[in-house]
Structure 1
Amino acid sequence: MFWIICAATTLIVGLAIMAPLLRARGSAAEPAAAFDLRVYRDQLREVERDLERGVIAPEDAERLRTEIGRKVLDADRRLSQATAGGAGGRGLLALAVLAVLFAGAAALYLREGQPGRDDLPIARRIADAQQAYDSRPGQAEAEARAPRPQVPPVPEDFEVLIDQLREAVEKNPDDPQGLALLATNEMRVGNLAAARAAQQRLVDLRGEDVSPDELVRLSALMVEAAGGVITPEAEAVLARALQADPAHPQARYLLGILQLQNDRPDRAFPIWRRLLEEGPDDAPWIAPIRAAITDLAWLAGHPDYVPPAPLPGPDAEAMAAAEDMAPEERQQMIAGMVAQLEARLAQQGGTPEEWARLISSLVVIGDADHAREIWAEAQARFASQPEALETVRQAAAEAGLAE
């Protein structure tokens, strides 16, 4: 089917290009030289008639014949040139150029493309993605394949401290603080496998009391040690963290990466979209999500998705100036920023997170009554979106405006 469409498109384009030239070849205007040639021949016949009637003398007739004859030869030469270089010649040249272009395109595709590859319907793609997911390498295999990261040279005094820390942990392997410090510093010097092992020991030591942050840290170290691959073991730790805290942002970010690694943008997009909308804008995962979300949305079947604009905030100069302001002036500056946010939401709309921020900010600057009005407006705006309304409701509840 693909080749039939390509051939039909090529034929249509070629005919569209050739049609004007072919029409010009069949119905071209008569060259000026042909008209001149007929005129000169008529003049020769007129000279012969005048000579027969005795209107002109024989010597004048001979002079006119010679002069008109030169013009006939010139017109005949110009007519031959016009015929040889006319529309037909241009049409053949254009046809040759088109043939070369089409042949070059076909040769390029045969070299760089995959003409023998089968079509990939959605069911086949999902099956291939599941196969890739099931055939992932284990943690040990992935770590063995992973290249060693490039790290700057470690200062001698810092290396001494790391050795002392290793000795201390070896003497007291059940010290949580020592294990946490060892995992952090082994990662700094590029010993990712050792960092992962120390964090694993810490997680095992915590048992049921392990925190989601410690689990996510272990999963991230496993991914780093495996060269960026989220192995089944790392996924299991990640699932454990999400079971303890389903809203953990870094765990959800890693879950989105897992879906991307297994060619499931349709699953990754809703995860990253929610993270982007929740913010905050200075979170470390927001920048990579914002850079990829448009392409990810297209791959996931949402080509019309428009990511939310970064939430407005003070720039560095405004923050520096605020440090030198009196409390009243600082309050006025904050009120101005809140007013700008409210005006933008009124004119352009915004995400639930922006409405939540507006409610919280109004309460902070002491305008709780107006915050209640905004909360009421948000309830009407997001009445048909329960999840979005819940985001705003949480902010209103924290501000004491809702239960």
Structure 2
Amino acid sequence: MILLALTCVLICAVLIALAAIWQRVRRAPPQWAQEKSLYASFMADVDRRLAAGNIDADQAREERAEAGRALLKASDRPETSGNMKPLHGYIALGLVAVASAWLYLFVGHPKLADQPYKQRLAAWTRLAQSQPDSLPPKAMAAVLRQGQHDHAKEVDYWLFLGRIDMLAGNNYQGAQDYQKARELAPQTFTAWSELGEALTFVGGGVSGPDAKAAFQNALKLNAKDPRAHYYLGQQAISDGDYETARTHLTAALSAMAPNDVSRRQVQDALNSIAPAEAAAQAMNTRILGMVAGLEGQLQANPENPDGWARLLRSYDVLGDRQKRAAAQAAMQSHYARRPDVIADILTRAQTRVGSEGEAK
């Protein structure tokens, strides 16, 4: 504590010393410096014109005198750079430094307890007991988490806490809550389903392997779980498996009540399948046309490493493993005596994905 106070005093002294040095070494006001510069330029011009014979000595003497009078008049004008006296500046700077140090000692001491948060948590707890609907999700999650030791073996507690964490945007924490509920009751489909949803949110909207496994386990326990069907359908759309997507989303709609507010979201996802499928088919048509052109070029001139790489890459995009294997065998047969070219083609086919425009 004493060391901190001495440090603050030292900082104040350094600031005051720097201000004093600045007052002593500061330059003349910019306006006065400009006046002197103009005077020097004018005098140089007078000397130049006198040497060139444009004016005589009497006229030059008169112009010099006039310029000197103008310079003296400028020097008599009061400075406009500020009206605060140096001593007043030192005092003000010292007061600001001392006030800052005092404020830090009062509210920023590192050993002060986090009383404001404890007070807020106590207020949230009282509000949760009297008016729970008025409490924001983050505050409610903080209140509920106080009882995690007393309710550690209660499935409903972890399920409810997980829902509150999800509402609060604490997706990772929500996933952990649902994981604990799943461990306590592995036969509860809701725990699996909500765990999959939380993991999807943690993945940025992508249902990874763990999320898919959770949804599939939920469907094993309840084949009509709309949440599991919805997310599996969404992921099937992303994967390009449109028939599977239709199956899951249709099942989700069938399992939902007519007045369920989530029906619109599921219906929109179902309606998005047709345009997504049409776009994918159009892309496949373009790729098939490119593939046909490449095959024709390579039959006419097989000495084309870049063309072979694009052809293999195109079959990868189409997912046609059989034709890719046939094309790779033909390429390897042509370059049988040049293994370095074969290796280069295979590398480019794997690393340069999605460049179908190169076939033009």
Structure 2 length normalisation: TM-score? 0.36
Structure 1 length normalisation: TM-score? 0.32
The higher relative CO (CA closer than 8 Å, separation ≥ 6) is in: 1
